[in-house]
Chain A
Amino acid sequence: MEIIETENLTKTFEGFTAVDHIKFSVRKGEIFGFLGPNGAGKTTTIKMLTTLLYPSEGTASIAGFDILKQRAMVRENIGVVFQEPALDTELTGRENLDFHARMYGLSPETRKKRITQVLSLVDLDERKDVLVKFYSGGMKRRLEIARGLMHSPTVLFLDEPTLGLDAQTRRAIWDYIKKLNKDENTTIFLTTHYMDEADFLCNHIGIIDHGKILVMDTVDALKKSVGHDVITLTCSDIEKLQKRLEQESWVSNATPHTSFLTLGVERGEEKIPVIFDIARTISVSITSIDVRKPTLDDVFLYYTGRSMREQTGEAPRMKPMKSAGFPMRRRQ
């Protein structure tokens, strides 16, 4: 069953098209990841789906209810964790959670149970009676997430759920999201620009850039589309080597980048000597080479022509998965 369906959903802000006629659907019970760099249109899409913004064109349905005509019914079925903190800073952490629980009509027992549960999840038990205005940015973020996870709606929207959190909390939140999805069959729609997050959590992924969906598929199918293995190499003449390797039938997607070249191949380990031989014949010297299973970063690179990191203004790297201090599984 399709739980979210959009039909040419569009939003323009004073001539700028933030979301451009997007069409996608999400099945009940799955974790769907919306991947894209900052400013791609992820948050705007969520705001339209959660009835906070009116679409300029097109529409969508959530759990069978139209976001334009049945706004109240849509709200009955959703929960949202916002990217920006949406907390009342004059209330304590616990009071914010209590406010939320009552607004969502949780019974007194559930309310108590859930509040304790989510407070310990984000490690805020000790600060629960402190006014939120005295919280640090990270604490606010954690409280925000805790609040969103309190009630189990049909569809839960998470806008960059773990942005700016430490590795440990990220991991705890991922587990909780998985649990929520499994135990209560909550459909989860999340946006992220962390590839490892999407990889760990999502069944289906849509890549969005400049307000358009570039590709949508399962994580596995997307990775396969890039190649069975990915070889990344640096060499003396990227362009020359790329032109030569392109002619080989076993090479799919030979894509040159500013400082490196990526190749999609099968049985990558066996191809390394072959590539060295070819390079030698055209007198290109290979300085480093790496073979691995494709990651979502490779997928993103393949479909957008840019790595996620380049988008956010950081230097492009040879191995895209090595990002800011988070423990990651690079070789699968």
Chain B
Amino acid sequence: MMNPKDLQAIYMLWLRQMKRFIRAKSRVLTTIIQPLFFLFILGFGFNIAVFPGMTGSYINFLAPGIIAMAILFSSMFTGVSVLWDRQSGFLQEVLVAPVSRLSIVIGRTLGGATVALFQGVVIMIIAIALGVHVVSPGGLLLTLVIMVLLSFTAVGFGLILASKMRDFEGFQSIMSLILMPLLFLSSMFFPVSNSLPVWLQVISYCNPLFYMVDGIRGSFTGANYVLHPLIDLAIILTLCVIIMGLGSYFFNKSEA
């Protein structure tokens, strides 16, 4: 299915994103600094707060969620930025090229994942410098794997959105109406414990983001997690395959 031409195309699409990312200096800064605000302000603000079901310092609890959030936003942005390419006309150039649609999706996904991973790792290093406890080198490796999968999933989700929307307003509503609540219920800021109303607990456990945050928590800090990180990994992997499949399908169907 993949011939050298497709591999070349994947590389080119990846390279394009790298160049664009490096040149958009403000974006580099915002995407790293914004999560750091969360980490610092919330981390120190809730430093002495005690949540039911939480052990250790709050920043230890918070850091995995912030890493997940940074990757999620960055990757979704990559997926949705197909809209930019559509508006600027550049998408046509990509779509008429003699390369498979799959390699276009892969190229964009890898580009987005690289950027997201870079941001995630920067935050990770800062978190460690702030005293966040690392459970083991193996755990750290697993964290990176989960981060990559999380990024793929979010790019795929962004592609689905981009194929259904013609402008950015729809994207903004989805961000504030769907993504924000899901983020809050992902156990990112506070643990999902029995003190929450049952229906909120149910929503939390149905929330895909929960398993992503839980997976990073289990593998990175090894504290406050609910499921074994490998179980989280299996859930995330399944989700990733489904969303990426749908993303490619919709992208393939869309007109320039």
A interface list, Cβ under 8 A from B: 47, 50-54, 72, 75-80, 82, 84-91, 95, 99-100, 102-105, 131, 147
Q: Is the CB of A102 within 8 A of B90?
A: no
Q: Is the CB of B99 within 8 A of A54?
A: no
Q: Is the CB of A103 within 8 A of B94?
A: yes
* Chain B interface bracket (under 10, 10 to 19, 20 to 34, 35 or more): 20 to 34
Give Cα A50 to B97, complex, Å: 10
Q: Is the interface of A mostly helix, strand, loop or mixed?
A: loop
Q: Which residue of B lies closest to A72 (CB)?
A: B100
Contacts of B94 in A (CB 8 A): 103
Task: Please tell me if B95 contacts chain A, counting CB pairs below 8 Å.
Answer: yes
Give Cα A298 to B256, complex, Å: 36
Q: Is the CB of A95 within 8 A of B89?
A: no
Q: Is the CB of A75 within 8 A of B92?
A: no
Enumerate the 10 nearest inter-chain pairs by beta-carbon distance, A residue then B residue, closest first.
Answer: A86-B89, A103-B97, A86-B93, A52-B256, A105-B5, A76-B98, A102-B12, A75-B98, A86-B92, A90-B20
Q: Which residue of A lies closest to B12 (CB)?
A: A102
Question: How far apart are B201's CB and chain A's nearest CB, in angstroms?
Answer: 45
Q: Which residue of B lies closest to A51 (CB)?
A: B96
B8, B11, B24, B96: residue with the most chain A Cβ atoms closer than 10 Å: B96
Q: Is the CB of A87 within 8 A of B255?
A: no
Question: How far apart are B91's CB and chain A's nearest CB, in angstroms?
Answer: 8
B interface list, Cβ under 8 A from A: 4-5, 8-9, 11-12, 16, 19-20, 23-24, 88-100, 255-256
Q: Which residue of A lies closest to B101 (CB)?
A: A72
Q: Is the CB of A75 within 8 A of B8?
A: no
Q: Which of B88, B91, B98, B100 contacts A89 (CB 8 A)?
A: B88
Question: How far apart are B137's CB and chain A's nearest CB, in angstroms?
Answer: 38
Q: Which of B12, B91, B98, B255 contacts A99 (CB 8 A)?
A: B12
Given A84-B89, A86-B89, are A91 and B96 also a contact pair (CB < 8 Å)?
A: no
Q: Is the CB of A105 within 8 A of B8?
A: yes
Give Cα A131 to B24, complex, Å: 12
Contacts of A80 in B (CB 8 A): 92, 96
Question: How far apart are B248's CB and chain A's nearest CB, in angstroms?
Answer: 14
Given A87-B90, A90-B20, are A52 and B95 also a contact pair (CB < 8 Å)?
A: yes
Q: Which residue of B lies closest to A82 (CB)?
A: B92
Contacts of B11 in A (CB 8 A): 102
